[in-house]
């Protein structure tokens, strides 16, 4: 019995498929979900959602949010979500540099500019982190399935 995974972003449904296992970036570390999981709702950190279907892995980056988990479904709500391989590391680096410059620049430190620059910075950093991890993993062996939580 597969788990029906839905990743819903603010502006679209980013991913929808039946998968064998989902690994989520939980607040207290990674959380692996196999079918027949207990019904819980939990918060997610910005990071990576990893799914496996018939031996094939897919990685997505989410900006944090929460997951509603049940025996046959996982629904993730996150402001933003995208496929890890769609991330252009160079562009993300560029965005990070620009954001850092704006934060360092004392002339543009109205609170709005700061808020905008900070959110750009956090976002670009999360994307870089995941994109690098995906690239590294691709060079290594793909890992085995993560153990689900004991109390699940």
Partner 1 sequence: MPNTRQIRQRIRSVTSTQRITSAMELIAAAKMRRAQQRVLASRPYATRLRDLIGDLVSRQSASGADETHPLMQVREPRSIGLILFTPDRGLCGGLNANLSRAALRFALDQGHPVSHISVGKKGNDFFSRRGREIRAEFLNLGDFPDPVATSPIARIVLEDYEAERLDRVYIGYAEFVNTAVQMPVIRQLLPVEPPEEHEGETLGDYEYEPDAATVLGGLLPRYVEMQVYQASLENSASEQSARMVAMRAATDAAGEMIDALTLEYNKARQETITKELLDLVGGVAALEKA
Residues lying near partner 1 in the complex (CB under 8 A) are found at 8-13, 27, 38-43, 65-66, 68, 70, 75, 77, 79-80, 110-112, 115-116, 119-120, 123
In the complex, the smallest distance separating the C-beta of residue 61 from partner 1, rounded to whole angstroms, is 13
In the complex, the smallest distance separating the C-beta of residue 64 from partner 1, rounded to whole angstroms, is 9
Contacts 24+ apart (CB under 8 A), 81-87: 81/7, 81/9, 81/14, 81/15, 81/49, 82/14, 83/58, 83/59, 84/48, 84/59, 84/60, 84/130, 84/131, 84/134, 85/59, 85/134, 87/61, 87/127, 87/128, 87/130, 87/131
Count of Cβ atoms closer than 10 Å to residue 71 Cβ: 12
In the complex with partner 1, which residue's Cβ is closer, 112 or 136?
112
Q: Which among 32, 33, 42, 31 is positioned nearest to 72, based on CA atoms? A: 33
In the complex with partner 1, which residue's Cβ is closer, 75 or 137?
75
In the complex, the smallest distance separating the C-beta of residue 63 from partner 1, rounded to whole angstroms, is 9
- Distance separating alpha carbons of residues 113 and 91, to the nearest angstrom: 21
In the complex, the smallest distance separating the C-beta of residue 89 from partner 1, rounded to whole angstroms, is 18
In the complex with partner 1, which residue's Cβ is closer, 1 or 10?
10
In the complex, the smallest distance separating the C-beta of residue 125 from partner 1, rounded to whole angstroms, is 14
In the complex with partner 1, which residue's Cβ is closer, 90 or 111?
111
């Amino acid at each position: 019995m597969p788990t029906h995974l839905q990743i819903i972003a603010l502006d679209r449904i980013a991913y929808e498929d039946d998968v064998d296992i989902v690994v989520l970036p939980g607040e207290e570390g990674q959380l692996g979900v196999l079918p027949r999981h207990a019904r819980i709702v939990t918060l997610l950190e910005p990071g990576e959602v990893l799914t496996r279907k018939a031996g094939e892995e897919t990685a997505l980056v989410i900006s944090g949010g929460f997951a509603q988990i049940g025996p046959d479904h996982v629904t993730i709500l996150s402001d933003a979500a995208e496929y890890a391989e769609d991330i252009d590391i160079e562009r993300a680096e560029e965005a990070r540099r620009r954001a850092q410059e704006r934060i360092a620049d004392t002339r543009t430190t109205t609170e709005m500019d700061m808020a905008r620059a900070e959110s750009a910075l956090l976002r670009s950093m999360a994307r870089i982190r995941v994109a690098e991890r995906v690239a590294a993993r691709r060079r290594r062996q793909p890992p085995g399935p993560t153990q689900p939580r004991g109390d699940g």
